[in-house]
Chain A
Amino acid sequence: MLMLLHGTAYGLSDVFKENIYVPEDLAPTDSVLAVTVGEKAPDFTLPSVHHGEISLSQYLGKKNVVISFVPAAWTPVCSDQWPGYNIVKDLFDENDTVLLGITADNIPTLFAWTNQMGKLWFPVLSDFWPHGETASKYGVLRSDGTTERAIFIIDKKGTIRYIDVHDINKRPPLESIVGELEKLNK
């Protein structure tokens, strides 16, 4: 059930004004992983808000990839996750890594939502149709059609090196992601 957000306990940015809805009592996770660390990451091709179609395979041999699945646009924790990544492009660059943000929302929704965040340096991909197909390949599509709040780190060989299917109600600490990226180059 969704309710209108009043005084939020999420430290939500005022940039979103009163346009954020907050879910009640969400189960921390609600899916079964379909991949494991050490496996080849399933390829996908998805439309993005500003960068055309993006395929995971286009980074093979070139860049490490961080995939950040977030559950839904216009919800509190999600709205305060990618804006933080937006000020640390240098940390991704230093580790020869690209970031791909994915939700199961459609492109117009993602367009409006991410515009509130400012100009994002990383592609934002829509897994809307066929609904959640990519999230399903990774095993992070929840029963309500949203995705988990999950981080996958994939090396240049296309191998999954790190998985964090995080409690949907909490934001993964930035240091956990950066720490894993630094391990890729050791």
Chain B
Amino acid sequence: MGIVLCLVVLGSSLAYDTKPPPAVGDVFPEVKFSVPGESDYRTYLGLAKGDYFSIQDIKTKVVVVEILSMYCPHCQREAPRVNEVYELIEKDPALKGKVKLIGIAAGNSTYEKKVFRKRYTVPFPLFEDPDFELHDILGGVRTPYFIGVKIDGGVPRVFYSKLGGFEKADEFLKMLVGLSGL
């Protein structure tokens, strides 16, 4: 799943400039992800076959974006807890379909992304970002970094943007749900 970036306002000539991380209240930057080839991931995201999609095209109310890397020790240690967040969402009828997770593998090739997915049995879609293009647009942040996005009237609004992981999956999820206003 490659990533094609589309800077609607700034133009493609600035695609490699590092921006500040999205702040709470900001509109999530316009980027286009490749539609996953795997039908399971398309189903999860509520996407039809196609080329690209934007974050607001995901059929959900809230998207939690994790910026990670297979080369990042924190991301490696965090992976089981992030998977647990996914499982908690999928088991909760009040959250299933309303909160979805995606990962951006900063600086990772397709192969490296697949290694991380296999090693940690990651159940949610990961998108490789081999040349750090999306990573730069999202602030050149250290990893792991989490961005919570609420899709309201087709507008993806950031409600959480923070470096680092968390200790307990249930508390992290509860905090995100609370901040999102779901």
CB of B112 closer than 8 Å to a CB of A: yes
Closest residue to B109 on the A side, CB-wise?
A173
**Is B119 part of the contact surface with A, judged by Cβ < 8 Å?**
yes
Partner of A15, one of B74, B116, B141: B74
Give the distance to chain A from B16, nearest Cβ to Cβ, in Å: 8
User: Does B89 make an interface contact (CB < 8 A)?
Assistant: no
B139 CB-CB contact with A under 8 Å = yes
Given contact pairs A14-B163, A81-B71, A87 touches B76 in the complex (Cβ within 8 A) = yes
B: residues with CB less than 8 A from A are 18, 20-21, 67, 69-77, 106-107, 109, 111-112, 115-116, 119, 132, 135-136, 139-145, 163-165
Whole-angstrom distance between the Cβ of B147 and the nearest chain A Cβ: 15
A-B contact count (CB 8 A): 91
Contact A13 B73 (CB under 8 A): yes
| Minimum CB–CB distance for A74 against chain B, Å | 14
Interface residue range, chain A: 20 to 34
Task: Give the distance to chain A from B20, nearest Cβ to Cβ, in Å.
Answer: 7
**Which residues of A are found within 8 Å of B143, using beta-carbon distances?**
11-14
B142 touches A84 (CB 8 A): no
* A87–B70 touching, CB < 8 Å: yes
A15-B73 contact, Cβ under 8 Å, with A7-B18, A80-B107, A175-B109? yes
Q: Is the CB of B73 within 8 A of A116?
A: yes
Knowing that A14-B74, A84-B71 are A-B contacts, what are 6 other residue pairs whose CB atoms are under 8 Å apart, sorted by A's residue number?
Answer: A12-B72, A14-B164, A81-B71, A84-B70, A88-B119, A175-B112
B144 contact set on A, CB distance < 8 A: 14
